[in-house]
Amino acid sequence: MIVNLKKYIFFLLLCFVPIFILLIVEGVLRLSNYGPNLDLFLVKDIGERKLYALNPNVARRYFGMKGFTTYVSKDMFLQPKLPDTYRIFCLGASTTIGYPYMYNGSYPSLLEDRLSVLFPEKNIEVINLGITAVTSYTVLDFTKELVKYQPDLILIYMGHNEFYGALGAGSTQFIGENRLVIQLYLQLQKFKLFQLVRDTIHWIGNQFKTKNVYTRQRNLMEQMVRDKSIPFDGPVYHNVMKNFQASVREIVQIARHHRIDLLLSTVTSNIRDQYPFVSLSSDSALSQKTKQLLTSVQKLMDRKNYADALEQLRQIIAIDSQRADAHFLLAQCYDYLKNFEEARLHYELARDFDGLRFRSSSELNNIIRQICYSDHVPLVDIEKKFYQAAMDGIPGKDLFWEHVHPKLNGYFLMAKEMCQTLAEYDMIVPKNKWKWNLDKTDSEYRQLAGVTPLDEEVADISMKILMSRWPFTYPEKPYQYEPQDEVQRTAWDYINGKIGWRAAHERLGNYYLQNKKVFEAEQEILAVAKQFQYDPSFYLTVARLQTQQKKYREAAESYEKVLRFYEDPEVRVKAGIVYLEDQNFANAVIEFERALAVENISEKKFTHEQNIKLRFLLGQAYLKSGQTEAALGQLAVLQSIAPQSWEYRQMLQEIRAAQK
């Protein structure tokens, strides 16, 4: 019996010692702060409140190797939520971020503009959590953590990156096709020991890599692609669709379990003006023959002999049904012949059969629609909306820069459709209580967007650089650019990493001020203020510039945005002054009275001169709003604290004139 007990104890020790050693190593790694912080959010204290921002290093959960540059949004939010707050988290990839405009040009920012107009009494938060080049694995991973941050709604636009995004089946960040293995990998990322093992494996692997003498820095698209040919209907394709469907269903279950509203979106792409990247034949033996036939078809099309080209293309597709380029040329023939319904069908097939899968196929959107229908999840059908808005009902360069990223009018279209879908599904408040009487025109929303000529120039240059490289141009044609003015110089410095986004707008704003272009300066600082709304200095500057232009109503709104988060008696006075200038005397009275009330309980006190000025302004506001007795009260205060002041004498004259 004693012998058996000793064996049992020895066996336990044998099992426990390795675990104990691993725990010690994990503890040492944590104490030494090994590896990046992979928390979802970084925390910054503001007074007694905590401000949360997406952690740029969180991308390392999905991009295991160093050297990958991804973009994340700069949006921040307060935790816990302020009263009357409606919080929306937007999840997705580069389209969610708003590439190539970024930040203010994204659909989350444009959606927040609309909702803030329609619900002025609420604090609307639309928080952009997009990261470039991620898949549904990232979106699911985020969703699991977001439930503790009090979301009212999670809005998801994803799908284009399922093959080549992080952890995708065709990606260089590939770790396997089994969904359970990938989810286990993401859980293990929480352990520093696992990070150490992962980094060691990558380091060893890099030692055996052949050094490439061609040193041009590859863009993210090039870095992410491992498999350039993924056939339609093949095992890899079907497994990706199956895993995507499972991820979406799990997201639905999480949202439902935690009683969080969920809005899923279909994804949209350029089908009219994006030639297939890679065309694969149904049978490899047909490939060379099909290419020869397509060469003759192209000659017919060059001569505008579309009828004969159409007939030959039908014959080609009859024997080689999955040739993406054949379907695209057939679509172009129908397009030229103004048979737009058939053209759209074959443009879609050209996209679906494209072997380089940078655009989602029709099947992926159908998965989203089917889940929304079967699980009663609200759907915003962005693909359908783009078809309705596109020229001839076929989305192309009128709405897109390249294959998937919308132009600014496309992002506005997305935000508008999402806003209308929220109302349709009784989100925020029942749809009959939406204040559509406050709605603005599309042109007015464009003025609110905070997208400046600098952002437009950055977008234009970024896309020209992108499309001068693989897979859009091969061999590549290096993009040459010579800045001609300050906007172009600032845009070029930003693109080349010499200056950050915020600093670029500030630099251009200062340039405009030096050249007495106040409106242009206001627009640049306003762009920054929208992104850094918790920093009061930007909206204070915007309000000052708006006041210089006698845009008193806009200035008052800017001051109110500061006061929403920071109660300051001096800002209250400034808000009251612009209301007074705008002849909104009732609101001027409110602001001046609040300034006095706040000053009474604040450590920040008015100087004697400031107090005299405030009493005079309050007296004027009372007098002009017809409250003569209240104005006399302020006159009495002025008499007691500054009987010889100009303000007292002026107020006395104005009251006597009013009494006559």
Look at residue 216 in the predicted model and tell me its pLDDT. Answer: 46
Percent of the chain scored above 70 by pLDDT?
92
Q: Does residue 254 carry a pLDDT above 80?
A: yes
> Distance between CA 177 and CA 167 in Å, rounded?
9
Mean pLDDT, residues 70-74: 83
Burial class (CB in 10 A: 0-12, 13-18, 19+), 272: buried
**Residue 238 structure tokens:** 């079907």
pLDDT tens string 388-404: 999 999 999 999 999 99
| 208 pLDDT tier (thresholds 50, 70, 90) | low
Look at residue 29 in the predicted model and tell me its pLDDT. Answer: 65
Mean pLDDT, residues 276-299: 84
- Residues 537, 565 contacting (CB under 8 angstroms): no
Percent of the chain scored above 90 by pLDDT?
67
> Distance between CA 223 and CA 164 in Å, rounded?
10
| 215 pLDDT tier (thresholds 50, 70, 90) | very low
Q: Does residue 379 carry a pLDDT above 60?
A: yes
User: Which of these ranges, 288-302, 350-364, 580-594, has the smallest mean pLDDT?
Assistant: 288-302
The SS3 assignment for 596 reads helix
Beta bridge partners of 124: 86
Q: Which domains does the chain have, with CATH numbers?
A: 83-192+226-271+360-448 (3.40.50.1110), 284-350 (1.25.40.10)
Q: Does residue 33 carry a pLDDT above 80?
A: no
User: Which of these ranges, 106-110, 260-264, 557-561, 565-569, has the smallest mean pLDDT?
Assistant: 565-569
pLDDT tens string 611-633: 999 999 999 999 999 999 998 99
- Residues 620, 654 contacting (CB under 8 angstroms): yes
| 426 pLDDT tier (thresholds 50, 70, 90) | very high
User: Which of these ranges, 292-306, 335-349, 500-514, 525-539, has the smallest mean pLDDT?
Assistant: 292-306
Mean pLDDT, residues 549-568: 92
Average pLDDT, the chain: 90
Adjacency order of strands within the sheet including 76-79 = 41-46, 49-54, 76-79
User: Which of these ranges, 9-13, 162-166, 542-546, has the smallest mean pLDDT?
Assistant: 9-13
- Residues 598, 572 contacting (CB under 8 angstroms): yes
Burial class (CB in 10 A: 0-12, 13-18, 19+), 149: middle
> Distance between CA 100 and CA 406 in Å, rounded?
9
Look at residue 424 in the predicted model and tell me its pLDDT. Answer: 97
- Residues 483, 492 contacting (CB under 8 angstroms): yes
Look at residue 212 in the predicted model and tell me its pLDDT. Answer: 47
pTM more than 0.85: yes
Q: Does residue 194 carry a pLDDT above 80?
A: no
Look at residue 214 in the predicted model and tell me its pLDDT. Answer: 39
- Residues 623, 632 contacting (CB under 8 angstroms): no
Mean pLDDT, residues 401-413: 97
